[in-house]
Chain A
Amino acid sequence: MSRPDSFHPLARLLHWLMALAILAMLFVGVGMVATVSTRHQWLLAIHRPLGVTILLLALLRLGVRLRWRPPPLPSDMPTIMQWLAISSHWLLYALMIGMPLIGWAMLSAGGFPVMLGRSWHLPPILPANSALYAWLRLAHGVLAYLLFFTILGHMAAALYHGLIRRDGVLSSMTFHRLPRRRSPAPSTNTAPEAGDIGSPSQTDPPDSPGYGTPPL
């Protein structure tokens, strides 16, 4: 299914779908609390169902990530960069799952019906409690900014890998038909995210196109 040096195609699809959804969500969120125009209404109407969609996609994506481990990072990456890469990814997962849950909990604590459309609504996950509402609302706003700045860092790092280091990290998440590399020598890199299902690329024939071949 997947190229050994790339994310599983489903993981790549989810990544780009969610990149769009989460960026849209962040803009909708900061926009709707900063306007009194009629945009406030339709932004709010997008915010809740989109949040639930992101929560479901994030849970699916977590499953995909655990089932098909991501390709290892280049071993010549400095330790601090590897640490940053790994921790920021888990932070992104925590926020992708946490933000919709906090929003849902916040509306529950505020006593609001969690309407997803005109008639569809979710049950409350917390009892009505205004103090809890205030804390969760604060968390929802602060973590939204944390998520935005983490995404900015993530994007900058991806471009750094793609444009400066040119180490294949960026292309492991992009879609392309042709194999990028036809290098004959086997890799001697060790994977920082050990525990991945083998290191199949080491056993690939030199000219293996990778794409579309079974991992083992």
Chain B
Amino acid sequence: MLEPERTPPARSTWRWAVIAASVAVLLLLFGYTAGWLAPHRLTPQRIVDALQRNAGLHPGYRRNHAKGICVTGYFDSSGNASAYSRAIVFAPGRTPVVGRFAIPGGNPGAPDGGTPVRSLALRFDLANGQQWRTGMNNSPVFPVATPQSFYEQLVASRPDPATGHPDPLKLAAFYAAHPETGAFRAWAKETTPSSSYVTESYYGLDAFYLIDAGGKRHAVRWSAVPEAAAGASEMASATAPDVLAGDLQQRLANGPLRWRLMLTLAAPGDPTNDATRAWPPDRHIIDAGTLVIEHVQPQDNGPCRDINYDPTVLPDGIVVSDDPLLAARSAAYANSYLRRTSEHAGVPGATRVERQP
């Protein structure tokens, strides 16, 4: 600095080498962490790319469960769950909800009868500014237990360009290699695609922990059980590709729709890290309150459009379990959310959304 007789500049090669090596080491570590130097790592980008490849590119839409409809309503808590979770959503009282019914797959124009799976996503807006987001399916179990298997399933079910359908041999090979898909496949085989979202039960699939006022953890899975369990006609899928939205609008015109929010507590030894295995039916079940759906809006401009139903957005009183799917869902949903919001915003590089005149 203010140094009159400075040491003359050094010219030795090793000094330059130290500088270059320091930069290179930091750069390599950063590159590895960012995934540039780890091409085999399963990233959220690769999962969403696979979804996009299977369904085709539909700018502005979710990359999975693309076809859906927004609903709004509220949750009336019974207070029964407040002994197990300190989340204020479980204290007696009302919490507003923005939800979304959907069918799986990345094609927003898919026929409703193409799959027996229906989903319900919810965002509870708690009075203290916290949120509880959950995405549930009408299947009690998920096909796979890990993100890696989910990715392999996507690859195996990629439509053959020649036929437009997945290669049955590849699918069979995947199922043979993944016996854990058995419970889901049995459910899918015996389930007729419902013509109504309203008559379905929806299961949170992954396990979580409720945290009570004393800080004690209780492993839990939740589900929404409909009050109107009967009344869904068997659907003629070929003639009614959008039967679900029409049915929902019709039913809501006659009044609000209700589900009971049920919390199933695990017994010791019940798996919390495996969404392919249901817990035995004799577990302690808490009726936490009533979910009331009052209004329906199209997803193109409804309040659910810009919500990422990331199941790891949780209020104080609920935490994620060791289920490996949860982190993957969070990471992949975020990537899908970034893609579709970028498309809506016209960010350079994002696929432009065709704007209706």
> Contact residues of A with B, CB < 8 Å?
4-6, 26-27, 30-41, 44, 71-74, 110-113, 115, 118-119, 121, 123, 128, 130-135, 137-138, 148, 152, 155-156, 159-160, 163-169, 172, 181, 183, 185-189, 199, 201-202
Contacts and interface: CB of A to CB of B under 8 A. Distances in A.
A4 B331 CA distance: 50
Contacts of A183: 3-5
Contacts of A115: 130
B344 interface: yes
B6 to A, nearest CB: 6
A188 B29 contact: no
A121 to B, nearest CB: 6
Contacts of A169: 1
Given A113-B313, A118-B319, A131-B345, A33 B44 contact: yes
The 10 closest A-B pairs by CB, nearest first: A119-B316, A34-B35, A131-B345, A187-B2, A36-B328, A30-B34, A134-B345, A130-B306, A5-B1, A134-B341
Contacts of B342: 134, 137-138
B18 A163 contact: yes
B327 A74 contact: no
A121 B130 contact: yes
Interface of B: 1-11, 15-16, 18-19, 22-23, 26-27, 29-30, 33-35, 41-45, 47, 129-131, 147, 211, 305-308, 312-313, 316, 319-320, 322, 324, 326-328, 330-332, 334-335, 337-338, 341-342, 344-347, 350
Interface hub of B6, B23, B29, B350 (most chain A Cβ within 10 A): B6
Contact of A199 (B2, B8, B18, B34): B2
A74 B4 CA distance: 10
A116 B19 CA distance: 37
Contacts of A138: 342, 347
A35 B57 CA distance: 23
A112 B333 CA distance: 13
Interface centre among B16, B43, B345, B347 (most CB of A within 10 A): B345
Contact of B327 (A38, A181, A189): A38
Given A34-B34, A165-B9, A185 B327 contact: no
Given A39-B327, A111-B306, A119-B130, A134 B338 contact: yes
Contacts of B19: 156, 159-160, 163-164
11 contacts: A5-B3, A26-B30, A33-B334, A34-B43, A35-B331, A36-B327, A134-B350, A156-B23, A160-B19, A163-B16, A183-B3
B22 A159 contact: yes
Contacts of A31: 33-34
Contacts of B10: 163-164, 166
Contacts of A130: 305-306, 341, 344-345
Nearest to B31: A30
Contact of B322 (A38, A123, A163, A185): A38
B2 A34 contact: no
B30 A128 contact: no
A36 B43 contact: yes
A89 B16 CA distance: 23
Given A27-B30, A111-B306, 4 more contacts: A121-B129, A134-B344, A156-B23, A167-B3
Given A36-B43, A36-B147, A163 B1 contact: no
B4 A36 contact: no
Contacts of B4: 183, 185-188
Nearest to A42: B327
A207 B5 CA distance: 14
A34 B308 CA distance: 18
Contacts of B347: 134-135, 138
A105 to B, nearest CB: 14
A44 B310 CA distance: 13
Contacts of B312: 41
A40 B47 CA distance: 15
A41 B147 CA distance: 14
Given A130-B306, A187-B3, A41 B15 contact: no
Most chain B Cβ neighbours within 10 Å, of A123, A132, A152: A152
A213 to B, nearest CB: 15
A201 B7 contact: no
Contact of B129 (A123, A132, A189, A202): A123
Contact of A36 (B44, B306, B345): B44
Contacts of B43: 34-36
Nearest to A181: B3
A183 B3 CA distance: 8
A113 B312 CA distance: 12
B107 to A, nearest CB: 21
Given A31-B34, A156-B22, A159-B22, A118 B3 contact: no
Given A5-B3, A188-B4, A27 B33 contact: yes
Contacts of A30: 30, 33-35
B15 A189 contact: no
Contacts of A199: 2
A165 to B, nearest CB: 5
